[in-house]
Chain A
Amino acid sequence: MPYDPVLVQPMREELTVLGVHELTTAEEVEQYLADTSGTTLIIVNSVCGCAAGMARPGVRMALAHEKLPDRIATVFAGQDVEATAKARSYFADMPPSSPSLALFKDGEVVTFLPRHRIEGREAMDVAGDLVKAFEEHC
């Protein structure tokens, strides 16, 4: 059962306030990822406190870096179910994980940060992994 949307809204806004594009339907995901040129970061957001609580601040820190993906979007696992399933279909070789982060380059996943590489770490460590990927691929 999805969490109360009112409870979840601040967790969405932690990303959208940064300019991250929120995708709430499968159609939106399909349209957004139809452009496979360049680099795209997809953030699978979630309610989970011990992991998403570090993922969102980690993303915020990483987005202050000078080198960034061309496009950055998010889906919310457990809330926007169809959008999340559609997003995951673009990295179907990876076990479902939320939160998680997938960086695409020219339509291929070049970096994937699953939940277990986020939980229990500090936000700056998550940001460090993202910045390393941005430096390498963006």
Chain B
Amino acid sequence: MGTFHDDLGPLHGITVVVDTKGPRVVVGRCHEITGKNVILHDVDVHEAGTDGVSKIEYLERAARIGTWVKHAHLSVSLDEVTSIQPLGDLAF
């Protein structure tokens, strides 16, 4: 996808949505997907239902304008991940 670090995978440098089995959805810039984790930079984490905002509502807004960074780095276990896709691919 045009990054300088192809050895880190096609999503390296791309802002992705990491959805989980639970209420949590994570948006951040993908560094690397290892065999166990997805490692992200500049990360926002949303818990569905907090502030009365559902996952879909949160992602609609994120797709439109982006997200506010809450964590410089975050590692999410692939055991809890259901999907990883570029935020820019979301269409509402």
Contact = CB atoms under 8 A, between A and B. Distances in A.
A108 to B, nearest CB: 15
27 contacts: A48-B13, A49-B2, A49-B3, A49-B4, A50-B1, A50-B12, A53-B2, A93-B65, A94-B65, A94-B66, A95-B65, A95-B66, A95-B68, A96-B69, A115-B15, A115-B66, A116-B63, A116-B66, A118-B88, A119-B13, A119-B15, A119-B86, A119-B88, A120-B2, A120-B14, A120-B86, A121-B88
Interface residues of B, number: 17
B67 interface: yes
Main secondary structure of the interface of B (DSSP, over half): loop
Interface in B37-92: 63, 65-69, 86-88
Contacts of B1: 50, 119-120
A103 to B, nearest CB: 14
Interface string B18-34: 00000000000000000
A58 B5 CA distance: 22
B13 A50 contact: yes
Main secondary structure of the interface of A (DSSP, over half): loop
Contacts of B14: 50, 116, 119-120
B88 A116 contact: yes
Measured as residues with beta carbon below 8 angstroms from the partner, the interface class of chain A is 20 to 34
B2 A50 contact: yes
Given A49-B2, A94-B65, 12 more contacts: A48-B13, A50-B4, A50-B13, A51-B13, A53-B2, A94-B66, A95-B68, A95-B69, A97-B66, A114-B66, A115-B15, A119-B1
Contacts of A94: 65-66
Contacts of A118: 88
A72 interface: no
Interface in A65-95: 93-95
A117 interface: yes
Given A50-B13, A117-B88, A119-B88, A95 B2 contact: no
